[in-house]
Amino acid sequence: MSFLLLEGIAMGLKFSAQDVRGIYNIIPTPATPNAHHIDADDTVNYEATYKLVNMLIDEGVDAILTNGTFGEGATLTEKEHIAFVAKVIETAGGRVPVFAGATTLNTRDTIRRGKLFREMGATGLFLGRPMWCECDDNTIVGFYSDIATALPDTPLIIYDNPEAFKGKLSPRVYSRLAGIPNIIASKYIAIGPQYLDDVEACGDSIRLLPLDSDWYYARKWVGEKAPACWTGSGNCGMAVLRALKKAIESGDDAYALEITRDIRYTYKTLFPHGSFKLFSLYNIPLEKARFDAAGLVEAGPARPPYHHVPQDYLEGAREAGRRWAEINKKYSG
């Protein structure tokens, strides 16, 4: 076992909710040009993966998460998924934590894949819920509890997406999940009326990660209980996010609010007709188009069956990428 692999495992064993801080960027799985073909074999663009991971680390990302929704965890073959995660871990080389997406349609495959990713050196896992049937409270808690029992030394970041997983986690569920020591954080889609109840239910055991455009407001509401944000926009350029992090951590509210408004400006064309529900129908090709348009990432085409998208929606995503590239220049000085 290599030194870097051992170092990666050691990092995971020590990682807790109190270590969650800064910018947690979710990456796409860069695709070869033929990835939208149903007869394509290995569709991972490994050179683009290497460039993306190094760019993010060199530009100040605090952690990398893989294979969420736009990371195409559901459309990669098992061989592709494993090879991609291996490339990310190898490229990161222990410089930042890597939380590997391991969600499958069932508990046993998720555990098996999670074990493999940990053996490869992943800091922890990024886990949604099985997507086939809607899960009731006991099923949700049971799913994460079973994985935590099978992988007792593995930090888990959960993924609370009401569209992808057919419902939002309730404060009652968060309270029960907070009793599972492995669970250290949750990707939180959008802050709203339930946010404060969810934060209270999580206590100090789970850090809820607001979207970058919500981070300033979350911080004003709950202070140090919002020490980090999640984003995919680091794939479009990290300067904006570095500036936001610095402003929030230094207490420069006016500057943090200016940056937040700029970020929200870029998102206005990303959501078709302002609808998150519509966006969720096409978020894989829309996000990949956004990343490509920003010019720093070769995200490539979406893999089937999620490669169909209305052209006007696609152009809105490209405009969002171009807008991010513009404001990234503004904050690069």
Q: Say if CB 123 and CB 11 are below 8 A apart.
A: yes
From 304, 316, 305, 234, select the one nearest 278 (Cα to Cα).
316
Radius of gyration of the chain measured on its C-alpha atoms:
18
Residue 115 annotated among the catalytic residues of the structure: no
Query: Is the torsion defined by CA of 293, 296, 300, 303 positive or negative?
Result: negative
3-state secondary structure of 194: coil
116 burial (CB, 10 Å; 0-12 / 13-18 / 19+) is middle
CA distances from 114 to 119, 120, 200, 292 (A): 9, 10, 29, 30
Residue of 187, 245, 268, 277 with catalytic role: 187
Element (H, E) at 124: strand 124-127
Quote the crossing angle between the two packed helices 253-267 and 239-250, to the nearest 10°: 150
The residue type of 99 is F
- Please list, in sequence order, all residues whose beta carbon lies within 8 angstroms of the beta carbon of residue 212, skipping any fewer than 6 positions away: 23, 229, 230, 231, 233, 241, 244, 263
Q: Say if CB 70 and CB 232 are below 8 A apart.
A: yes
CA distances from 47 to 91, 188, 298 (A): 11, 31, 9
H runs (alpha helix) in the chain = 3-14, 46-58, 78-92, 107-120, 137-150, 171-177, 195-202, 212-222, 239-250, 253-267, 276-281, 283-294, 311-330
Catalytic machinery residues? 187
